[in-house]
Structure 1
Amino acid sequence: MLSDTSSSLIRLNIGGKKFCTTIDTLTQREPDSMLAAMFSGRHSVCADSGKGYIFVDRDGKHFRHILNWLRDGVVSSLSDSEYSELLREAEYFQLLGLIDEINTVLNNRKEEEELNTELTRNDIIKCIQSEKVRFRGVNISGLDLSKLDLSYVDFSYACLKNVFFSRANLQCAKFRDVDAEGSIFHNATLRECEFTGANLRGALLAGANLQSANLQDACLVDCSFCGADLRSAHLQTADLTNANLEGANLEGANLKGAKLHNANLKGANLQRAYLRHVNLRDTHLEGAKLDGANLLGAIR
């Protein structure tokens, strides 16, 4: 048991650095930690014979950050190297919440460095007020451009990873050879857009209007087109592996040479679609409408 059970005040000597805190601070926020176990009352903890400090043989440099976390649930702003040192101490004291928080901060920093966004949403809004807007080759990854009128804007060769285009008007916009992996085009207007050679891996295009859009040679792996309007869309040699097109309208679409391995076309409208020589063997077509589709040489 604690040497002074009449008081909740705890004096700690962490590698020569002295701290003063309470039992509640050490036990409440992280009840499964080593510190909580030490001061739960279930174990005998001995203090030195001087001023009653309990010695823990760890580097005390960052222990104040641990105490602040236990008090307030907030991690101080540190350099990456300092976070790594603090993480090592958090692991030793088995502070699972602090470990998760540090890892989240480090991951967010890494993502921000990778995105290195050049423009803000306000910059985009100012630019689209002029005619013939071009954002060719720029990096606007991670921006929220939802609900904006971006019709006819040229995004060719730009980095658009994880951009939010939900409900935006992108009619006739150009996305030639863009890297838009993971971007969200939910319910966006994309009529007559050009996505030739674009990387849209994992993008969300559910409910989007893609009538007559050009997606030739595009990487559409793992994309979601659920309920999307792809009438008369150009999908020649596009890679639709694992894509979800359930309930999509592909009437009159050209899928010549498209890769449809494990694609979900359940309930899709493929009337008058061009599917000559397309391999449909591993495609899910339950309930799909194929009236008038050109299936000459298709593998089923």
Structure 2
Amino acid sequence: MKDDSQSDTSSVLRLNIGGKKFWTTIDTMTHREPDSMLAAMFSGRHTLSQDPHKGYVFVDRDGTHFRHILNWLRDGVVPTLEEAEYTELLREAEYYQLLGLIDGIQDVLSKRKEDDELRTELTRTDIIKCIQSEKVRFRGVNLSGIDLSKLDLSFVDFSYACLKNVFFSRANLQCAKFRDVDAEGSIFHNANLRECEFTGANLRGALLAGACLQSANLQDACLVDCSFCEADLRSAHLQNADLINANLEGANLEGANLKGAKLNNANLKGANLQRAYMRHVDLRDTDLEGARLDGANLLGAIR
């Protein structure tokens, strides 16, 4: 016998999936995947097994992942899960004939496989072997935590790589490319970074004390909480860089371009800012004690 309430697509629907209880609507079950088994079950054309006392429609399937199925039907978003869980959810999606969800899960798994292939684990020895050849590129590679100190890595392309907590101390990185890298917490102490490109890089909390960054490009980089103590940043490009809470005590920024940079709460004690271009720089709560500002362009700076 059909339940009359099932003819109302906005009506509340109570489900018991293998012992787990869910509330939804018939519209949710039928709208996104109209050709699925679920849509057919609640189209009103079929008699369903129902608890007469509590009004729950019973489906004899494991209910562990059914909430993900409901969220897919509501929002069309594939959940973020571990690979083993995706395998289980895929099995349920296939049972319920949810073709859109099946395609979505397969796309996610395919993307993860591609990312894993990019994140090949390399050792310091592997790196040394690689840099002995010409045109070295580590674009998109995961080098997290590796010790690359004191190596000659000049002109190497690290763009889009994961370089979290990498040790580059005293390394020669002249003209290396770090475009859009994630180098949070990395150590560049006393490294040669002259003319390097860090455009859009995440260097939050990195240590660059004593490093040579002369003419380096750090535009739009996240440099929050970085240490540039005594660093050489002459003629560096720091347009729109985020230097909030950065320590630039004693740094040489002569002729550097800091247009639009965020320097609030930064430490610039004793820094050389002669002839620096600092238009529209945010200097709120910045410590400029002893800083040299001769010839600096501060037009529009926020103080």
What pairs up with 1:1-300 in 2 under 5 angstroms? 118-300=121-303
| Whole-angstrom CA distance in 2 between matches of 1:299 and 1:221 | 18
Q: Is the 8 A contact 2:198 2:218 kept in 1?
A: yes
| Whole-angstrom CA distance in 1 between matches of 2:182 and 2:284 | 30
Q: Which amino acid aligns with 2:222?
A: C
| Whole-angstrom CA distance in 2 between matches of 1:219 and 1:239 | 5
| Whole-angstrom CA distance in 1 between matches of 2:300 and 2:289 | 20
| Whole-angstrom CA distance in 1 between matches of 2:222 and 2:228 | 13
| Whole-angstrom CA distance in 1 between matches of 2:120 and 2:244 | 30
Q: Is the 8 A contact 1:117 1:142 kept in 2?
A: no
| Whole-angstrom CA distance in 2 between matches of 1:165 and 1:260 | 25
SS in 1 for 2:126: helix
Deviations 1:56-110 (A, max 9, x none): xxxxxxxxxxxxxxxxxxxxxxxxxxxxxxxxxxxxxxxxxxxxxxxxxxxxxxx
| Whole-angstrom CA distance in 2 between matches of 1:281 and 1:201 | 20
Q: Which amino acid aligns with 1:232?
A: S
Q: Is the 8 A contact 2:261 2:280 kept in 1?
A: no
Structure 1 unmatched ranges of 5 or more? 1-115
User: TM-score when scaled to structure 1?
Assistant: 0.61
Q: Is the 8 A contact 2:188 2:208 kept in 1?
A: yes
Q: Which amino acid aligns with 2:253?
A: L
Count of aligned pairs between the two proteins: 185
User: TM-score when scaled to structure 2?
Assistant: 0.60
Shift of 1:117: 6.5
Deviations 1:185-205 (A, max 9, x none): 000000000000000000000
| Whole-angstrom CA distance in 1 between matches of 2:279 and 2:131 | 41
Cα root mean square deviation, aligned: 0.9
The list of structure 1 runs, each at least 4 consecutive aligned residues, that deviate by more than 4 angstroms after superposition, is: none
SS in 2 for 1:126: helix
Structure 2 unmatched ranges of 5 or more? 1-118
Q: Is the 8 A contact 1:204 1:223 kept in 2?
A: yes
Q: Is the 8 A contact 1:135 1:156 kept in 2?
A: yes
Q: Which amino acid aligns with 1:159?
A: C
